[in-house]
Amino acid sequence: MNYRVLLLFVMLLLPLQALAIDSIAILVSEQVQASSVSKLAIDDAVNLLQQACECKVSANSKAKSAQVLIDLALSFEPREEKELFAAYTGTDKVPALGSKYTWTGVREDRRYRLELNTDSPHGLSNALYGLLQEQLGFKFYHVRETLIPTMHEWPLKDGFEMKAEAEFDKRGFHVHTMHPIEMTEPLLDQDFEGGREIIREYIDWLARNQQNFFEFNLLESVDLKPWLPYAKEMVDYAHERGILIGLDLSLHMIQQKAYMLYRNKPNSFRSKRAQMERNLEKLFSADWDFLNVEFSTTEYHKGNAKKKYRLQSRLLFLLQEKYAAKLLGRKHVVKAINDDIIADEDKAHKDAQKLAEDRDRIMLIHTVMFYGLKDKRAPVYGNENLSGMNDLLLREKDKREAWYFPESAYWVTFDVNVPMLLLPYLSERLEDIEYVSQLNVPGHVTFSSGWEWGYWLVDWSIARWSWSFTYGNEPENRYPAQYFDDLFPEPDLKASFQSLCDLQEDFIKDQELIQYMAGVTITDELPGALNMQFHPRPDHTPKWLTIKAEEEQIEFYSGEAAKLRSFAARNQEQISLLRNVEVLAADVSRSKILSELVDGLEITGLRAAHRAAVMLGTLDKRSRKLNLDPSSNLDSLLEEAASARSTAQELVDGRRALYRYDQHWLDGWRRDHTAYKFGYLYTVKNLHFWKREEEQLRRGKYSPWFMNIWDVWRISGIL
């Protein structure tokens, strides 16, 4: 017997021992290093890997002796950076550069070698971050926080293969700086302390999550002269990281301090066209890739269609011929104005020349809150559902470049500023991503309105779902709770979170309890034509129930209150299970993340309990007036509501100390560049909506001005 042969045979049968890591070498070429997009990604990856494995990590043009060799010595066709952005925004069906990559890995005795196949520095950047997050345990979950694994052994197996393909050529985020959210002042105020670092953090987060699109609202309150050099810095850095960047502004939108390309007399006596051209000249001292232009006067007023098309034609010409930039425009979900706009466009499109010009404008199809294109019920902005937006997408996608533009949160009384953590956002955003991807829609831009109280999970999930991954021949399994499970793979945590997802989907969305749990906004209480519906709301207001409800309505709303109580009780059962899981006791970072999510989910249940108590108190008042029930439960119901609010306030007080940005700017009373006088979490600090509802019940005051915090004239643009 040849013992050497036998030993070799046995060794082949045994699995290879785990490969301990004491050094990682990244093999790069001079051509790769010459591109800022790939160089910055490589430098970042080196830093992250060094933190994870506490070993020597180097990036060199020659291979070094190392346990792990990552081969990035690729050759790319020389291209100007602007050409790459043009490829991203082209209307042809050619996939954008950087939208595909493949990793393969082999074990070579005591060494592991990874090789990359991709088409550009942008692809290399995406591939590096995809490898780190999808396979090596890094989690780029929040702009200001990253989970970094501890790597003592190399986790990838011999024969490893990972194929990645972007679902959309253009993928990224609209940060809604019309509202006083985390990024508003850093983006709009050149003197904001630490603003440059905050902006770079966000652009880095986009790159790390393989995004390539970023826009924000420019407001008329910004002084352009000192701001534009500051803006040029952010534009240049976005380009260095491979990110398209642009501004959201308006022709002449008066609400919420939107920046206007022209003003009416007496604010300016120049012609509208001259004003527009002059303002464009100023703005393009920074190399913006696009402008997303609002053509209506307000969300509810479409303006003069004929004048709008003349100015749009000139604007489109200037952007294309003078500034090499793209024109975008969104479609609102407001039913009345959207119907009118479609009719105007149908009329305009009868002119073949106007149709040809308009095809160069990229259309963004908008949806709001946690509703999507295929929902049967979406009672928002006067709609029964958003099928009209779906029809518009189907109609336009073959005529022009049309993108999908959904929301990941809705500031103003719906979710994060109540506060509630609404999990149907996860299921709806995934469902729509898969739907519009099948339609070959080339762009997906998420309307982002703040990240605290767990809403970073929605943005992070959307960013990761904008790519599809295949391992060997097995595609990944995608589902709404996917990235919670990625953070918390413990079976008990996964099971409880899935139960909470199902519970919210059933009660809050399908049974429409959201109509009671959302806060009341001022337009819900104004009379007549001013009583405009934005978010879901009940058929009858508390004031109406107090003075007009009959026995039938009392019985119906009592049943709705019972549903709210049932949801609250079942929600608390799962919260108790999540809080009692002890597996994370020694994992401080993940424990902190879990605590934030559980707080958001618990306060959502408390909100349901609070609304049930206040609703029953309202019905109790009316029942006594009708002599249906001579006994009064009003005092005990007010105590029940106050108790739920007190428990919620304890959660808020604990959470405020952990906000990731300056607390005063998030929830203080102050002035900034927006139309508001406070941070976006101001109403959370003292649970304003909750307290107001109790006081309305206690004092019987239902005027829209009672305990009002909104400066209606400033927000609407009258002042």
pLDDT of residue 543: 93
pLDDT of residue 699: 95
More confident of the two residues 715 and 348: 715
* 98 confidence band (pLDDT: 50, 70, 90): confident
* 598 confidence band (pLDDT: 50, 70, 90): very high
pLDDT of residue 360: 85
pLDDT of residue 300: 46
Measure CA 639 to chain center.
Answer: 37
Q: What is the pLDDT of residues 144-189, one digit of tens each?
A: 999 999 998 999 999 999 999 999 999 999 999 999 999 999 999 9
More confident of the two residues 586 and 644: 644
Whether the Cβ atoms of residue 173 and residue 466 lie closer than 8 Å to each other: no
pLDDT of residue 13: 42
The average confidence (pLDDT) of the chain is 89
The correct CATH number of 19-166 out of 3.40.50.920, 3.40.50.2000, 3.30.379.10, 3.30.540.10 is 3.30.379.10
More confident of the two residues 295 and 685: 685
Per-residue DSSP letters for 475-522?
E----TTHHHHHH---HHHHHHHHHHHHHHIIIIIIS-THHHHSPPPG
Q: Which residue has the tokens 């051509």?
A: 31
Per-residue DSSP letters for 290-342?
EEEEE-SSBTTB---HHHHHHHHHHHHHHHHHTS--EEEEEE---HHHHHHHH
Q: Which residue has the tokens 């999970």?
A: 457
Q: What amino acid occupies position 602?
A: E
* 85 confidence band (pLDDT: 50, 70, 90): low
Q: Among 484, 465, 491, 490, which residue's Cα sits nearest to residue 476?
A: 465
386 pLDDT more than 90: yes
Q: What is the pLDDT of residues 259-292, one digit of tens each?
A: 999 887 787 778 888 999 999 999 999 999 999 9
The percentage of residues in the chain with a pLDDT greater than 90, rounded to a whole number, is 69
Domain ranges of the chain: 19-166, 170-487, 493-658+687-716
Burial class, 503, CB count within 10 angstroms (exposed 0-12 / middle 13-18 / buried 19+) = buried
Q: What is the pLDDT of residues 502-532, one digit of tens each?
A: 999 999 999 999 999 999 888 888 888 788 8
Q: Would you call 25 helix, strand, or coil by DSSP? A: strand
420 pLDDT more than 70: yes
Residues 6 or more apart from 403 whose CB is under 8 A from it? 168, 170, 328, 362, 363, 364, 365, 441, 442, 443, 444, 445
Per CATH, is 170-487 categorized as 3.20.20.80?
yes
pLDDT of residue 11: 39
Whether the Cβ atoms of residue 27 and residue 69 lie closer than 8 Å to each other: yes
91 pLDDT more than 50: no
pLDDT of residue 676: 92
pLDDT of residue 17: 67
Q: What is the pLDDT of residues 197-243, one digit of tens each?
A: 999 999 999 999 999 999 999 999 999 999 999 999 999 999 999 99
- What are the helix and strand counts (H, E) for the chain? 26, 18
Q: What is the pLDDT of residues 316-365, one digit of tens each?
A: 999 999 999 999 998 888 765 555 545 555 555 555 455 556 788 899 99
More confident of the two residues 717 and 527: 527
Residues paired with residue 258 on neighbouring β-strands, in sequence order: 219
pLDDT of residue 296: 76
pLDDT of residue 406: 97
Q: What is the pLDDT of residues 4-23, one digit of tens each?
A: 544 344 334 445 567 888 89
Measure CA 486 to chain center.
Answer: 19
* pTM of the predicted structure, to 2 decimals: 0.93
Residue 140 host element (H or E):
strand 139-142
